[in-house]
Structure 1
Amino acid sequence: MGQHGDRVRQSLLDSAEELFATHGIDAVSNRHIAEHAGNANHSAVAYHFGGRDELIRALLERHATETKLRRTQLVAVLGENPDLRDLLSCLILPWTDQLASMPRPSWRARLLQQLRSVPSGMELISMMSDPLEDDLIQQTRAFLADVPPPVLAGRAWIMGRMVTDVCARYESLVQQDSIDPDWTGLAYFIIDAAVGILSAPVTSVGDFLSARTSAN
Protein backbone atom coordinates (compact mmCIF):
# COMPACT_ATOMS: atom_id res chain seq x y z
CA MET A 1 0.00 0.00 0.00
CA GLY A 2 2.99 2.31 0.53
CA GLN A 3 4.01 4.67 3.30
CA HIS A 4 1.23 7.16 2.63
CA GLY A 5 -1.41 4.45 2.80
CA ASP A 6 0.10 3.10 6.02
CA ARG A 7 0.00 6.56 7.58
CA VAL A 8 -3.62 7.00 6.58
CA ARG A 9 -4.52 3.61 8.08
CA GLN A 10 -2.77 4.46 11.34
CA SER A 11 -4.51 7.84 11.46
CA LEU A 12 -7.89 6.19 10.98
CA LEU A 13 -7.12 3.59 13.66
CA ASP A 14 -6.06 6.31 16.11
CA SER A 15 -9.20 8.29 15.34
CA ALA A 16 -11.48 5.26 15.68
CA GLU A 17 -9.88 4.19 18.96
CA GLU A 18 -10.38 7.61 20.53
CA LEU A 19 -13.93 8.09 19.27
CA PHE A 20 -15.09 4.57 20.15
CA ALA A 21 -13.54 4.87 23.62
CA THR A 22 -15.15 8.25 24.22
CA HIS A 23 -18.59 7.88 22.66
CA GLY A 24 -19.23 4.15 22.31
CA ILE A 25 -19.14 1.79 19.34
CA ASP A 26 -22.63 2.37 17.94
CA ALA A 27 -22.55 6.17 18.37
CA VAL A 28 -19.64 6.71 15.96
CA SER A 29 -20.03 6.55 12.18
CA ASN A 30 -17.33 5.72 9.66
CA ARG A 31 -17.70 9.26 8.30
CA HIS A 32 -17.09 10.70 11.77
CA ILE A 33 -13.93 8.60 12.07
CA ALA A 34 -12.62 9.87 8.72
CA GLU A 35 -13.40 13.50 9.58
CA HIS A 36 -11.74 13.23 12.99
CA ALA A 37 -8.65 11.82 11.28
CA GLY A 38 -8.60 14.86 8.97
CA ASN A 39 -9.49 12.78 5.92
CA ALA A 40 -11.71 14.46 3.34
CA ASN A 41 -12.69 11.09 1.88
CA HIS A 42 -15.71 10.02 3.92
CA SER A 43 -15.37 6.50 2.52
CA ALA A 44 -11.82 6.17 3.83
CA VAL A 45 -12.71 3.46 6.37
CA ALA A 46 -14.32 1.29 3.72
CA TYR A 47 -11.44 1.92 1.31
CA HIS A 48 -8.64 1.07 3.75
CA PHE A 49 -10.32 -1.63 5.84
CA GLY A 50 -13.22 -2.98 3.83
CA GLY A 51 -15.82 -2.45 6.53
CA ARG A 52 -16.53 -1.70 10.16
CA ASP A 53 -15.82 -5.19 11.52
CA GLU A 54 -12.49 -5.23 9.71
CA LEU A 55 -11.63 -1.84 11.24
CA ILE A 56 -12.41 -3.11 14.75
CA ARG A 57 -10.47 -6.31 14.10
CA ALA A 58 -7.48 -4.19 13.04
CA LEU A 59 -7.81 -2.18 16.26
CA LEU A 60 -7.76 -5.38 18.32
CA GLU A 61 -4.82 -6.82 16.43
CA ARG A 62 -2.47 -3.84 16.17
CA HIS A 63 -0.79 -4.40 19.56
CA ALA A 64 -1.27 -8.17 19.67
CA THR A 65 2.31 -9.02 18.68
CA GLU A 66 3.82 -7.09 21.59
CA THR A 67 1.33 -8.57 24.05
CA LYS A 68 2.00 -12.12 22.90
CA LEU A 69 5.75 -11.57 23.11
CA ARG A 70 5.46 -10.30 26.68
CA ARG A 71 3.29 -13.29 27.63
CA THR A 72 5.84 -15.66 26.10
CA GLN A 73 8.59 -14.01 28.17
CA LEU A 74 6.59 -14.37 31.39
CA VAL A 75 5.73 -18.01 30.75
CA ALA A 76 9.38 -18.78 29.99
CA VAL A 77 10.37 -17.92 33.57
CA LEU A 78 7.56 -19.83 35.30
CA GLY A 79 8.67 -22.58 37.61
CA GLU A 80 7.70 -26.22 37.22
CA ASN A 81 4.67 -25.84 39.50
CA PRO A 82 3.18 -22.37 39.01
CA ASP A 83 0.50 -21.33 41.46
CA LEU A 84 -2.68 -19.44 40.73
CA ARG A 85 -1.00 -16.06 41.17
CA ASP A 86 1.73 -17.02 38.69
CA LEU A 87 -0.80 -18.06 36.06
CA LEU A 88 -2.92 -14.94 36.50
CA SER A 89 0.18 -12.77 36.31
CA CYS A 90 0.96 -14.24 32.89
CA LEU A 91 -2.58 -13.41 31.78
CA ILE A 92 -2.88 -9.89 33.21
CA LEU A 93 0.62 -8.36 33.12
CA PRO A 94 0.97 -8.42 29.29
CA TRP A 95 -2.20 -6.32 29.06
CA THR A 96 -1.21 -3.77 31.70
CA ASP A 97 2.35 -3.60 30.32
CA GLN A 98 0.87 -2.76 26.93
CA LEU A 99 -1.17 0.05 28.47
CA ALA A 100 1.89 1.34 30.32
CA SER A 101 3.87 1.55 27.06
CA MET A 102 1.31 3.68 25.23
CA PRO A 103 1.65 7.45 24.78
CA ARG A 104 -0.60 9.73 26.78
CA PRO A 105 -3.44 10.15 26.39
CA SER A 106 -4.25 6.55 25.55
CA TRP A 107 -7.68 5.13 24.81
CA ARG A 108 -6.93 1.41 24.66
CA ALA A 109 -8.54 0.24 27.89
CA ARG A 110 -11.63 2.36 27.34
CA LEU A 111 -11.93 1.03 23.79
CA LEU A 112 -12.00 -2.53 25.10
CA GLN A 113 -14.52 -1.53 27.75
CA GLN A 114 -16.82 -0.14 25.05
CA LEU A 115 -16.35 -3.20 22.83
CA ARG A 116 -17.32 -5.48 25.71
CA SER A 117 -20.57 -3.55 26.12
CA VAL A 118 -22.00 -4.55 22.72
CA PRO A 119 -22.61 -8.10 21.39
CA SER A 120 -20.83 -7.44 18.10
CA GLY A 121 -17.75 -6.25 19.95
CA MET A 122 -17.73 -9.27 22.24
CA GLU A 123 -18.00 -11.55 19.23
CA LEU A 124 -14.96 -9.95 17.60
CA ILE A 125 -12.99 -10.14 20.86
CA SER A 126 -13.84 -13.84 21.20
CA MET A 127 -12.44 -14.48 17.72
CA MET A 128 -8.98 -13.27 18.73
CA SER A 129 -6.77 -16.32 19.17
CA ASP A 130 -3.67 -16.71 21.33
CA PRO A 131 -2.81 -20.39 21.94
CA LEU A 132 -0.54 -19.53 24.86
CA GLU A 133 -3.27 -17.49 26.53
CA ASP A 134 -5.74 -20.34 25.97
CA ASP A 135 -3.28 -22.78 27.56
CA LEU A 136 -2.87 -20.53 30.60
CA ILE A 137 -6.64 -20.35 30.99
CA GLN A 138 -6.86 -24.15 30.88
CA GLN A 139 -4.13 -24.43 33.52
CA THR A 140 -6.02 -21.94 35.68
CA ARG A 141 -9.20 -23.99 35.38
CA ALA A 142 -7.31 -27.15 36.31
CA PHE A 143 -5.84 -25.39 39.35
CA LEU A 144 -9.41 -24.48 40.42
CA ALA A 145 -10.92 -27.90 39.72
CA ASP A 146 -12.63 -27.92 43.13
CA VAL A 147 -14.72 -24.87 42.21
CA PRO A 148 -18.01 -25.97 40.57
CA PRO A 149 -17.94 -25.17 36.82
CA PRO A 150 -20.90 -22.73 36.83
CA VAL A 151 -19.38 -20.84 39.76
CA LEU A 152 -15.98 -20.71 38.08
CA ALA A 153 -17.54 -19.49 34.84
CA GLY A 154 -19.36 -16.72 36.71
CA ARG A 155 -16.25 -15.70 38.61
CA ALA A 156 -14.23 -15.64 35.39
CA TRP A 157 -16.84 -13.30 33.89
CA ILE A 158 -16.58 -11.02 36.92
CA MET A 159 -12.79 -11.09 36.74
CA GLY A 160 -12.78 -10.21 33.04
CA ARG A 161 -15.05 -7.25 33.60
CA MET A 162 -13.03 -6.17 36.62
CA VAL A 163 -9.75 -6.13 34.70
CA THR A 164 -11.28 -4.16 31.84
CA ASP A 165 -13.20 -1.67 33.96
CA VAL A 166 -10.41 -1.00 36.44
CA CYS A 167 -7.89 -0.41 33.65
CA ALA A 168 -10.35 1.87 31.84
CA ARG A 169 -10.90 3.87 35.02
CA TYR A 170 -7.16 4.10 35.64
CA GLU A 171 -6.49 5.16 32.06
CA SER A 172 -9.02 7.96 32.46
CA LEU A 173 -7.43 9.13 35.72
CA VAL A 174 -3.99 9.14 34.10
CA GLN A 175 -5.31 11.25 31.23
CA GLN A 176 -6.75 13.77 33.71
CA ASP A 177 -3.41 13.93 35.59
CA SER A 178 -5.35 12.88 38.69
CA ILE A 179 -2.71 10.27 39.59
CA ASP A 180 0.91 9.46 38.90
CA PRO A 181 0.75 6.37 36.67
CA ASP A 182 1.98 3.11 38.17
CA TRP A 183 0.66 0.42 35.84
CA THR A 184 2.80 -2.29 37.43
CA GLY A 185 1.41 -1.49 40.86
CA LEU A 186 -2.10 -1.50 39.43
CA ALA A 187 -1.44 -4.86 37.77
CA TYR A 188 -0.55 -6.52 41.07
CA PHE A 189 -3.53 -4.84 42.74
CA ILE A 190 -5.75 -6.48 40.09
CA ILE A 191 -3.93 -9.82 40.34
CA ASP A 192 -4.48 -9.86 44.13
CA ALA A 193 -8.20 -9.23 43.61
CA ALA A 194 -8.43 -11.85 40.85
CA VAL A 195 -6.83 -14.52 43.05
CA GLY A 196 -9.38 -13.73 45.74
CA ILE A 197 -12.34 -13.82 43.37
CA LEU A 198 -11.42 -17.12 41.74
CA SER A 199 -10.34 -19.02 44.86
CA ALA A 200 -12.88 -17.73 47.37
CA PRO A 201 -14.94 -20.27 49.36
CA VAL A 202 -18.10 -21.45 47.61
CA THR A 203 -21.32 -21.02 49.59
CA SER A 204 -23.81 -20.74 46.72
CA VAL A 205 -23.70 -22.93 43.63
CA GLY A 206 -25.57 -21.82 40.55
CA ASP A 207 -25.27 -20.40 37.05
CA PHE A 208 -26.30 -16.87 37.93
CA LEU A 209 -24.83 -14.90 35.05
CA SER A 210 -25.75 -16.91 31.94
CA ALA A 211 -28.87 -16.11 29.96
CA ARG A 212 -31.47 -18.84 29.85
CA THR A 213 -31.66 -20.63 26.48
CA SER A 214 -34.93 -21.97 25.17
CA ALA A 215 -35.19 -25.58 24.08
CA ASN A 216 -35.50 -26.24 20.36
Structure 2
Amino acid sequence: MDEIRSHLLIRYDGSTQLRDWVSCMVRPITDHVATLPTPSWYARFAAQLMTDPALRVLIIDDARDSPTMRQAADGLNRCLPDLPDQVRTDRDDMVRILVVHMCAQKERELADGMTGAGWEATTTRLVDAVVGMLLAPVTQR
Protein backbone atom coordinates (compact mmCIF):
# COMPACT_ATOMS: atom_id res chain seq x y z
CA MET A 1 0.00 0.00 0.00
CA ASP A 2 2.91 2.35 0.71
CA GLU A 3 4.17 1.76 -2.83
CA ILE A 4 0.77 2.66 -4.31
CA ARG A 5 0.58 5.72 -2.05
CA SER A 6 4.11 6.78 -3.07
CA HIS A 7 3.08 6.86 -6.73
CA LEU A 8 -0.03 8.87 -5.88
CA LEU A 9 2.01 11.33 -3.81
CA ILE A 10 4.26 11.97 -6.79
CA ARG A 11 1.22 12.38 -9.03
CA TYR A 12 -0.52 14.84 -6.68
CA ASP A 13 2.52 16.69 -5.37
CA GLY A 14 1.58 20.34 -4.85
CA SER A 15 -2.15 19.74 -5.40
CA THR A 16 -4.61 21.94 -3.56
CA GLN A 17 -7.54 19.62 -4.36
CA LEU A 18 -8.97 17.74 -1.38
CA ARG A 19 -10.12 14.90 -3.66
CA ASP A 20 -6.51 14.20 -4.70
CA TRP A 21 -5.37 13.84 -1.08
CA VAL A 22 -8.37 11.73 -0.13
CA SER A 23 -7.47 9.47 -3.06
CA CYS A 24 -3.99 9.11 -1.54
CA MET A 25 -5.64 7.81 1.62
CA VAL A 26 -8.32 5.56 0.09
CA ARG A 27 -6.95 4.19 -3.19
CA PRO A 28 -3.93 2.35 -1.72
CA ILE A 29 -6.28 0.27 0.42
CA THR A 30 -8.85 -0.49 -2.27
CA ASP A 31 -6.22 -1.12 -4.93
CA HIS A 32 -4.41 -3.54 -2.61
CA VAL A 33 -7.56 -5.47 -1.70
CA ALA A 34 -8.53 -5.59 -5.39
CA THR A 35 -5.32 -7.53 -6.15
CA LEU A 36 -6.11 -10.29 -3.65
CA PRO A 37 -7.70 -13.53 -4.81
CA THR A 38 -11.40 -14.05 -4.17
CA PRO A 39 -12.39 -14.86 -1.55
CA SER A 40 -10.04 -12.63 0.37
CA TRP A 41 -10.21 -11.88 4.06
CA TYR A 42 -7.88 -8.90 4.38
CA ALA A 43 -10.49 -6.15 4.79
CA ARG A 44 -12.82 -8.28 6.89
CA PHE A 45 -9.95 -9.17 9.20
CA ALA A 46 -8.93 -5.48 9.41
CA ALA A 47 -12.53 -4.56 10.27
CA GLN A 48 -12.51 -7.07 13.13
CA LEU A 49 -9.18 -5.76 14.40
CA MET A 50 -10.53 -2.22 14.38
CA THR A 51 -13.22 -3.21 16.89
CA ASP A 52 -10.70 -4.41 19.49
CA PRO A 53 -9.37 -1.42 21.45
CA ALA A 54 -5.86 -2.82 21.98
CA LEU A 55 -5.43 -3.96 18.39
CA ARG A 56 -7.03 -0.81 16.97
CA VAL A 57 -4.30 1.29 18.58
CA LEU A 58 -1.61 -0.88 17.01
CA ILE A 59 -3.14 -0.53 13.54
CA ILE A 60 -3.59 3.22 13.82
CA ASP A 61 -0.08 3.73 15.21
CA ASP A 62 1.37 1.61 12.42
CA ALA A 63 -0.44 3.72 9.81
CA ARG A 64 0.65 6.97 11.47
CA ASP A 65 4.28 5.80 11.45
CA SER A 66 4.21 5.42 7.67
CA PRO A 67 6.01 8.36 6.00
CA THR A 68 3.72 8.14 2.96
CA MET A 69 0.62 8.22 5.17
CA ARG A 70 1.95 11.26 7.04
CA GLN A 71 2.68 13.03 3.75
CA ALA A 72 -0.82 12.28 2.46
CA ALA A 73 -2.38 13.43 5.75
CA ASP A 74 -0.38 16.67 5.58
CA GLY A 75 -1.66 17.34 2.06
CA LEU A 76 -5.21 16.59 3.14
CA ASN A 77 -4.96 18.82 6.21
CA ARG A 78 -3.66 21.73 4.11
CA CYS A 79 -6.95 21.58 2.20
CA LEU A 80 -8.96 21.92 5.44
CA PRO A 81 -7.26 24.74 7.36
CA ASP A 82 -10.44 25.94 9.09
CA LEU A 83 -11.64 22.55 10.34
CA PRO A 84 -11.53 22.62 14.17
CA ASP A 85 -9.13 20.09 15.71
CA GLN A 86 -11.79 18.04 17.53
CA VAL A 87 -13.99 17.93 14.44
CA ARG A 88 -10.98 16.84 12.37
CA THR A 89 -10.20 14.06 14.88
CA ASP A 90 -13.81 12.85 14.90
CA ARG A 91 -14.05 12.90 11.10
CA ASP A 92 -10.73 11.07 10.79
CA ASP A 93 -12.26 8.29 12.89
CA MET A 94 -15.40 8.31 10.75
CA VAL A 95 -13.34 8.09 7.57
CA ARG A 96 -11.28 5.20 8.90
CA ILE A 97 -14.40 3.26 9.89
CA LEU A 98 -16.14 3.97 6.60
CA VAL A 99 -13.20 2.91 4.43
CA VAL A 100 -12.36 -0.25 6.36
CA HIS A 101 -15.95 -1.43 6.67
CA MET A 102 -16.91 -0.63 3.08
CA CYS A 103 -13.88 -2.60 1.87
CA ALA A 104 -14.96 -5.47 4.12
CA GLN A 105 -18.49 -5.22 2.70
CA LYS A 106 -17.23 -5.31 -0.91
CA GLU A 107 -14.97 -8.24 -0.06
CA ARG A 108 -17.94 -10.12 1.44
CA GLU A 109 -20.09 -9.39 -1.62
CA LEU A 110 -17.40 -10.76 -3.92
CA ALA A 111 -16.91 -13.85 -1.74
CA ASP A 112 -20.68 -14.46 -1.89
CA GLY A 113 -20.59 -14.26 -5.69
CA MET A 114 -22.58 -11.04 -5.83
CA THR A 115 -22.08 -8.82 -8.84
CA GLY A 116 -22.27 -5.09 -8.78
CA ALA A 117 -19.79 -2.30 -8.51
CA GLY A 118 -16.18 -3.39 -8.91
CA TRP A 119 -13.27 -2.09 -6.90
CA GLU A 120 -12.75 0.94 -9.14
CA ALA A 121 -16.35 2.08 -8.68
CA THR A 122 -16.13 1.33 -4.95
CA THR A 123 -12.99 3.47 -4.74
CA THR A 124 -14.67 6.36 -6.53
CA ARG A 125 -17.75 6.16 -4.31
CA LEU A 126 -15.63 6.02 -1.17
CA VAL A 127 -13.58 9.04 -2.26
CA ASP A 128 -16.82 10.91 -3.03
CA ALA A 129 -18.25 10.06 0.39
CA VAL A 130 -15.08 10.98 2.28
CA VAL A 131 -14.73 14.31 0.46
CA GLY A 132 -18.36 15.07 1.30
CA MET A 133 -17.84 14.12 4.93
CA LEU A 134 -14.73 16.27 5.29
CA LEU A 135 -16.40 19.27 3.63
CA ALA A 136 -19.65 18.95 5.59
CA PRO A 137 -20.63 22.04 7.57
CA VAL A 138 -19.47 22.25 11.16
CA THR A 139 -22.51 23.01 13.31
CA GLN A 140 -20.97 22.18 16.68
CA ARG A 141 -17.37 22.82 17.61
Bucket of the pairwise TM-score, normalised by the shorter protein: over 0.9
Deviation for aligned residue 1:132: 1.3
Q: Which has the higher contact order (CA 8 A, sep 6+)?
A: 2
One-letter amino acid matched to 2:58: L
Segments of 5+ residues of structure 2 without an aligned counterpart are none
Query: Could you say which residue in structure 2 is the equivalent of 1:175?
Result: 111
Q: Where do 4+ consecutive residues of structure 1 move more than 2 Å?
A: 79-82
Write 1 or 2 for the structure with the bigger share of helix: 2
Matched, 1:118 2:65: no
- In the aligned structure 1, how far is the partner of 2:117 from the partner of 2:34? 8
Contact 1:174-1:181 at 8 Å conserved across structures: no
Query: Could you say which residue in structure 1 is the equivalent of 2:42?
Result: 108
- In the aligned structure 1, how far is the partner of 2:38 from the partner of 2:20? 29
| TM-score of the aligned structures, taking structure 2 as reference length | 0.92
More deviation, 77-86/149-158: 77-86
Deviation for aligned residue 1:101: 0.2
Segments of 5+ residues of structure 1 without an aligned counterpart are 1-66, 206-216
- In the aligned structure 2, how far is the partner of 1:181 from the partner of 1:136? 26
Query: Could you say which residue in structure 1 is the equivalent of 2:14?
Result: 80
* Residues 179 and 110 of structure 1, relative CA distance in 2, 3 Å threshold: same
Matched, 1:147 2:83: yes
Identity of aligned residues (%): 30
Number of aligned residue pairs: 139
One-letter amino acid matched to 2:9: V
| TM-score of the aligned structures, taking structure 1 as reference length | 0.61
Superposed counterparts of 1:1-216, under 5 Å: 67-78=1-12, 80-128=14-62, 129-180=65-116, 182-205=118-141
